[in-house]
Amino acid sequence: MSTKRDYYELLGIERSAGQDEIRKAFRKLARQHHPDVNPGNKEAEDFFKEINEAQEVLSDPQRRAAYDRYGHDGPQGGMGDGMGGASPFGDLFDMFFGAGSNTRGGGSGGSNRDGHDLRFDLLIPLEEAFAGSDKTIKLTRQEGCAACKGSGAKPGSSPTRCPGCNGSGQVKHVQSTILGSFATVVPCTRCRGEGLIVTQPCETCSGNGRVRATRERTIRVPAGVDTGTSIRLTGEGDAGSRGGRQGDLYIVINVAEHDIFKRQGADLYCEIDVPFTTMALGSTITVNTLAGDEKLTIPAATRTGSTFRIRGKGMPDVNGRRPPGELYVIANVAVPTELNDEQKRVLREFALLSGDEGASRLGEGDKGFIGKVMDAFR
């Protein structure tokens, strides 16, 4: 049985949580525990990997349904349910044919093993998610050894065909029973299924044919990405062995929370403070958006908390197939906290003209002048 923690418990959500709740919970935890925020903290790095795995599974309806039904271990017994469940036929094929998920080739040419796919988590600000950006990352991966050209053999020598399997990488065992003879094919233990033996190992890679190297890569992050967006770079993963295919690199995007703008899908929300005189009389103000300054008309007698929509100033569609989202601006009245004597006099006259019998006492008492003005615009 798996010892992994429950995905819902990791994200701190109910099992009935919707996709928005899952995304919000993940973003909140990712911002606190991302490796870039906690450099050198192994515990934070491990926890970030756990919550990222949790949101990937719970964000996929089919994988979530399988997890809700079977948990981490997946369906036990049977022949699979079409959603990742293992079939007993897989073991039978492996036993009789020696098939491997990352192995190609065979026969007299030996075995070519494909390189592993790699994952890189990239944290970016909302501004870069909006406009797109070029990011340079440092990646450590397995690369083909330049000294031996990936063969694993010392320069000037070559690997030899394995005598145990005659270069096939596989050995057949025949067993006689009362039901007849059964043949099983298994990887050759002498050459570890590669079909070749290195008698004089390369000193640079110790006969492995590959070495670890750190490289810089510049990638293009398209506009409109969101947390969980994955960018695949073909052939940028680990190098394969013995001529195997190089793995791929997956860049997984995490968008940091913004101090001003809140994102909901393709739409953005922000709150602004507007002078109470503008809210009362109406005017045109300038609003800062991710796309630049925009003019917004505030009608007269606008109440605090009123929401205005600026079309097309939300997040762009990452695939460019849909129009951009909207920007929703919530206007809150900004009441001055300090007034000079002249400002108070003018506002008292305004109160008298408005029929406020207590205008002469404004600014005194428990409520105070500012409190009364605030109440008037609420």
The length of the chain, given as a count of residues: 378
Residue type (1 letter), 103: T
Q: What is the DSSP letter of 152?
A: -
The pTM of this model reads 0.59
Residue 208: pLDDT band by 50, 70, 90 thresholds?
Answer: confident
Place of tokens 């510049």: 218
The per-residue pLDDT for 190 is 83
The per-residue pLDDT for 214 is 94
Sequence-ordered list of residues with C-beta below 8 angstroms from that of 6, at least 6 positions apart, any chain? none
Q: Tell me: the pLDDT tens digits for 13-54?
A: 998 888 888 988 988 898 888 877 777 788 888 888 889 889
Residue 366: pLDDT band by 50, 70, 90 thresholds?
Answer: very low
Place of tokens 């409520």: 367
- Quote the percentage of the chain above a pLDDT of 90: 41
Q: What is the CA radius of gyration of the chain?
A: 32
Sequence-ordered list of residues with C-beta below 8 angstroms from that of 248, at least 6 positions apart, any chain? 117, 118, 232, 233, 234, 235, 236, 237
Q: Is the pLDDT of residue 375 over 70?
A: no
Across the chain, mean pLDDT equals 81
Compute the distance between CA of residue 26 and CA of residue 28 in angstroms, rounded to an integer. Answer: 5
Q: Looking at residues 334-354, what average pLDDT do you find?
A: 80
Nearest to 327 by CA among 342, 313, 337: 313
The per-residue pLDDT for 93 is 35
Does 174 or 361 have the greater pLDDT score? Answer: 174
Q: Is the pLDDT of residue 353 over 80?
A: no
Q: Is the pLDDT of residue 365 over 80?
A: no
In the chain, what are the helix, strand and coil shares in percent, each to the nearest 5? 25, 30, 45
Q: Is the pLDDT of residue 298 over 90?
A: yes
